[in-house]
Amino acid sequence: MDNCIVVTGGAGFIGSNFVNAWLQQGLGKVINLDKLTYAGNLENLSEVQNDKNHLFVKADIGDREVVARLLKQYQPRAIINFAAESHVDRSIHAPDAFIQTNIVGTFHLLEEVRAYWSALTDAAKEDFRFLHISTDEVYGSLSASAPAFKETHPYEPNSPYSASKAASDHLVRAYHHTYGMPMLTTNCSNNYGPYHFPEKLIPLVIHHALEGKPLPIYGDGSNVRDWLYVGDHCSAIRRVLEAGKIGETYNIGGWNEMSNLDVVYTLCDRLDALRPKSKGSYRDQITYVTDRPGHDRRYAIDASKIERELGWKPAETFETGIQKTVAWYLDHQTWVDHVTSGEYQQWVGENYQAREKA
């Protein structure tokens, strides 16, 4: 078994950042499995398209025949499972895909990995890892004064998305306890950074601001999230893969709690400095829209376990991370133009323009 890994969902936002960094650091071969839904984009992998250690395979994690063939052929030492439907608003409109990918797809993947792992030599079994990437949203919502989510916090998902991710987490845990498989789980806070599909808050605001469109804020904008720069998240995943204790969960956060409105203010101010309008501020484009159903008020990650046990903590503050993020989007307008055409425009119309102003 050489230093080969399988990354599922490796053409999506976090997955592509992980693959790019892994290959650029020369850490080994990557078999990249992604079915290329709207958020999966081969342009995210343009930096490594000619890397001999990168093999892209267009397929669903639920395609057991393809998964079995890849595992047999490449004998990976680890699976890093990013593959998921991940947008709460889409899960409200159409939950079916979330159940199919996040629950059923994860089950099929686990079954093929179990068959592969069971046939390994004892030494290879010891070295193998399955690392499942999850979210803080499985823990539910926090009040303003409640302590941040620890790994022991009960699961209380409030959307079809978070419920489907919670189910996948439970499957991973069950496969460890029932079959002895060497599983690891990470639950991260809100990521931001390069290659983020502009349905999520930060890239959507950057895109709409530059287009002169309204900047939609749900409700009163006071919902709080912990913001984690995607490069930091990827470094944490590498550390968990390297040294995480089998069967354990590690929460990964940025120690950056901010309200949605404060995030938007920060983005507008940054754009005012870097790409000023001929008149006024980007803040003038802020508009308040009807809140989404069941909108969790606050997420906050206590990332002290991963720092204490594995020595990891984020390198970026929100200020440095957002500076890098805005600069990246300004420098990659062609990428933005490509991903915001067609289906994206239809989605924005369905989710935001149809909402009454709050």
Q: What is the mean pLDDT of residues 59-79?
A: 97
137 is catalytic: yes
| Share above pLDDT 90 across residues of the chain, in percent, rounded to a whole number | 84
Phi and psi at residue 319, to the nearest 5°: -65, -45
Read off the DSSP letter of residue 356: P
pLDDT tens-digit readout, 285-318: 999 998 878 888 999 999 999 999 999 999 999 9
Of the listed 85, 136, 151, 199, which one is catalytic? Answer: 136
218 is catalytic: no
Of the listed 116, 161, 195, 329, which one is catalytic? Answer: 161
Read off the DSSP letter of residue 245: P
pTM: 0.93
CA angle (310, 315, 320) in 5-degree steps = 160
pLDDT at 134 over 70: yes
Q: Look at 238 and 351; give whichever has higher pLDDT.
A: 238
Compute CA distances 153 → 14, 73, 310, whole Å. 24, 40, 20
pLDDT tens-digit readout, 182-229: 999 999 999 999 999 887 899 999 999 999 999 999 999 999 999 999
Report residue 348's pLDDT band, with 50, 70 and 90 as the boundaries. very low
337 is catalytic: no
The domains located in the chain, with CATH, are 4-258+299-342 (3.40.50.720)
The whole-number pLDDT of residue 87 equals: 67
- In which element (H, E) is residue 192 found? strand 190-192
The whole-number pLDDT of residue 346 equals: 54
Q: What is the mean pLDDT of residues 93-101?
A: 90
Distance of alpha carbon 252 from alpha carbon 190, whole angstroms: 10
Of the listed 60, 85, 112, 137, which one is catalytic? Answer: 137
pLDDT at 345 over 60: no
